[in-house]
Structure 1
């Protein structure tokens, strides 16, 4: 029976290849969407944690999504935080989501206080020398033909001189003076949030209470870095799971329909063959097993091909778009593989039952 399964697949090589390719595409779609979404979340977590702050203060009713969409709070409020007993450093920051030239989060920083949280490690150049200077990380500097200190790049359609290139993991990939970014986005004198450094981690709860008890600051959201990082999860992102489930459903339907069509036509073409097998004593379960084994074998090939393709895509994106964090996880590889196998089995189930129900006399007389 196993020899017959292989012979059936080889007899129609193009159909077998297309079916395996469809399953591979299904696997690639599921893993790649998850890799992009999760990669952006984890990449932002790593870079934010690298700022060196212990706590984050954000406006009332802000989520980490809308916190990067504008600057609604007065930057001068940083002075109130600096006067609190257990706050060692307070730094105002604007985070602005920008789609020009590709999605990115621009950072507007007060260099002195931001650098005090955790000093920059400069690989080239140095701090801002003027309002139209930008500090970039080495990941961005490696894009395209490469950028170096002294080069000019465009941000929000304005030219900026690269004053320095720093090691990645310090917040944004592009950081400009907070005053300049505020002017460009129409939020002069504003900030998106404040990063705080405590004099001692044991005093973080005391700082929170000091802020909430200070007139004018009671409505702010105060979170430790640990709390903020724990919120950076797919379940807390509006629409994340819906988008992922929709893509997964579409990919599963593609795999299911291709396998269904492939096995359905295969059963119709092999009607006489099935009749011969049943006349020789083959049971219904043997016929069902033969059809299912064909689909499972194509699923194995398709899943293997899909996993190989996703790592090829990862290597290409890593070389072509180093700023894109593409995170392939073992969990999603397993999920995509299981979904592909289930889709193949259910897609072949009806054709298999149809083949098993064929009357051997009618099958032998089929033209």
Structure 2
């Protein structure tokens, strides 16, 4: 049977190749969208964990996604928070999207306060020397700029369509990749004295609930959102992100439909072309189960080849993106490789069921007379 299956596939090499490529595209689609979406979530969570704060304070109705919401509240609220009995450090932060050359979050920080949460680890250069300085992390420094110029200390880079001098390069993992003075970013956004949110480092983790109650006891802050870092990280999962699972399921559904239709068409055409061959097999005593087995085995071979090709392409894509865009996380995990393979196999088998059933039901006499 295996020789028969292999012979059938090699008899129409172009059709077999197209089917394999279609399954590979299905796998690449699944792995790519998962890598991009989950990579962004895990990267945001990892970056937040390195800030050094253990409490986040946001204005009412602000999104828990750190780069959404503008700068709606006065930055001087940080002075009030810093005076709380159990607050060791409190600092304001502005976060804003940069859509130029890709999606990136720009952070506006009060350097002294933000550094006090957990000191920056400078790889070269140092803190801001003026309002037109920028601090970048090592991953952003090694990513390619639009003009190809190196991002080194002393170089001028463009942020939000404005030129800034690179004052320092720090180790990644402290919130963002690009940091401006908070007043500078606030001015660009039209709110020079405002902030998006506030970070607090407590004097003791046991006092987090006490700090929360102290904030709620301040009338002007009674409606603010106060979360521990652990609470925030628990929200940074696919189930809590708006539209995440819907988008993921939509892409997977489209990928499955593509695989299903291609396999269905390929196997259906193969059955029609091999009508006389099927008649010969049945006249020689081949059972319906044998005929179904042949078609499903062909499908399985095509699917396995497509899955392997898809995983290889996804890995090459990951290597390319890591080289060209090191700031873009693109994790291709073993868990999702297995899931993508399973999804592709199920979709392909579903696409082959009707052609296999149709082949098994052919009357041997009619099939032998078929031209």
TM value normalised by structure 1: 0.98
User: Using the alignment, how far apart are the partners of 1:66 and 1:35 within structure 2?
Assistant: 20
Q: Does 1:321 align with 2:360?
A: no
SS in 2 for 1:165: strand
Deviation at 1:328, TM superposition (A): 1.7
Structure 2 segments unaligned to the other structure (5+ residues): none
In the alignment, structure 1 residue 335 sits paired with structure 2 residue 339: yes
The residue that corresponds to 2:300 in the other structure is: 296
TM-score calculated relative to the size of structure 2: 0.97
1:61-83 deviation digits (Å, cap 9, x = unpaired): 22223753301111111111011
> Which residue is equivalent to 1:53?
53
1:237-276 alignment, distance < 5 Å: 237-276=241-280
Structure-1 residue corresponding to 2:315: 311
Which consecutive residues of structure 1, in runs of 5 or more, have no partner in the other structure? Answer: none
Residues 165-221 of structure 1 deviation map (CA, whole Å, 9 limit, x = unaligned): 000011111000000000101122111100000001111111111111112111111
Tell whether the 8 Å contact from 2:67 to 2:97 is kept in structure 1 after alignment.
no
Corresponding position: 1:214 with 2:218:
yes
CA contact (8 A) 1:263 1:348 kept: yes
Paired residue secondary structure (2:124): strand
Partners of 2:198 and 2:34 lie apart in 1 by 31
Q: Is the Cα–Cα contact under 8 Å of residues 55 and 201 in structure 2 kept in the other structure? A: yes
Displacement after TM superposition at 1:333 (Å): 1.5
Offset, 1:234: 1.0
Cα distance between partner residues in 2 of 1:252 and 1:203: 51
Q: Secondary structure in 1 aligned to 2:92?
A: strand
Whether the 8 Å contact between 1:78 and 1:91 is mirrored in structure 2 is yes
Cα shift readout 1:211-248 (whole Å, capped 9, x = no counterpart): 11112111111111111111111111111111111111
Is it true that 1:130 corresponds to 2:134 in the alignment?
Answer: no
User: Could you say which residue in structure 1 is the equivalent of 2:78?
Assistant: 78
Equivalent pairs counted in the alignment come to 367
CA distance in 2, matches of 1:310, 1:119: 37
Following TM superposition, the consecutive aligned residue runs of length 4 or more in structure 1 with deviations greater than 3 angstroms are: none
Counterpart of 1:234 in 2: which secondary structure?
Answer: coil
- Superposed CA offset, 1:92-116 (max 9, x none): 0001012112111100000000000
Q: Contact 2:67–2:105 (CA<8 Å) still a contact in 1? A: no
Asked whether 1:226 is paired with 2:230, we answer yes
- Per the TM alignment, residue 121 of structure 1 is displaced from its structure 2 partner at its CA by 0.8
In structure 2, the residue corresponding to 1:160 is in which secondary structure?
A: strand
Query: For residue 279 of structure 1, what is the aligned residue in structure 2?
Result: 283
